[in-house]
Amino acid sequence: MGAAGFVRATVGGALRESFSAPPSVLRALADSGDGAGLFGPESVTWKVHAHPAALVGGIRSLIVQTLHPLVMTGVAQHSDYRSDPLGRLRRTAAFVATTTYGSARQAEEAVAGVRRLHEHVRGAAPDGRRYYGNDPELLAWVHHVEVESFLLAYRRVGPGLSDADADRYVEEMACVGELIGASPLFRKVGPLHEWVIHHPEVRATHEAREAVRFLSRLPVPLAAWPAYLVCLGAAISLVPWWWRLQLGLVAPGPVAGRLVSEPMARALIGAMGWVLGPSPALSNARGRVGTTATTP
């Protein structure tokens, strides 16, 4: 194996091990045999979620989602993110891959599984307010932050997207929000962004700052660590500066973030496209529906 092959095998393998859906999930995307699923080969969603920039979007999503105190309390009290952080990331990746590229039946089963888990996510926040994992508004926060984060990453450290296609992506992803039970739901970029950025619940709690600090020392394999640090810096640069201050994030300011972190991430994302090769989820889904797999 030459040097290039070694890099692809070592770094690419470490990145996929840490952040991709498990192989069994990826294989299932090819074996279903019952249609294109919720989106299909011509959708914006297939393109956005297959791109390596989704890693930056996923990290940004995790950061911003901590800012809803009830969501963060539920995660702190019921999640194993401290004891098994990479397992939790892989389960999240499996859900995204299945709802994006699986058949309609697979997507519905994945959503039903998450809703069953959420039935047990109940409790009280430090201020005494009760929370429930299947609360439509809490689900809406998680859903819309994820959609906004993937979109921001694709537009700023990925190849970019027109305004029309950005709105189309939000519209497409609303079907996942409907299945999950999120409410309110937005189908255009503008209203979605306004709702997230001006959400009355948003504030950084002690639990949120702890969770974000944990992300800065995530136990990823050594071979993946440099790439993860660059993606983390870019993800932080996509978080509004006033939220960064609340969370205690040490990162470049709004100008330096775009001038330093994001260009570094764009270069890395380009290299990751070569290191990782075509998205297995996209390739398997295209094979299932009878189209040719391509690298996005």
CA dihedral sign of residues 172, 157, 212, 274: positive
Write down the pLDDT at residue 291.
Answer: 65
- Express each pLDDT in 62-113 by its tens digit: 999 999 999 999 999 998 788 888 888 889 999 999 999 999 999 999 999 9
Which tokens is 287 given?
């094979």
* CA–CA distance, 52 with 94 (Å, rounded to integer): 15
Q: How far is CA 210 from the centre of its chain?
A: 20
Percent of the chain with pLDDT over 70: 83
DSSP at 259: I
Predicted confidence band of residue 253 (pLDDT cuts 50, 70, 90): very low
Lowest mean pLDDT, pick from 50-59, 265-274, 276-285: 265-274
* For the chain, counts of helices (H) and of strands (E): 17, 2
Q: 130: helix, coil or strand?
A: strand
- Express each pLDDT in 2-35 by its tens digit: 544 544 556 566 677 777 888 888 888 887 666 7
Produce one character per residue of 123-144: b if its CB has 16 or more CB atoms within 10 Å, e if not.
eebeeeeebebbbeebbbbbbb
* CA–CA distance, 220 with 275 (Å, rounded to integer): 17
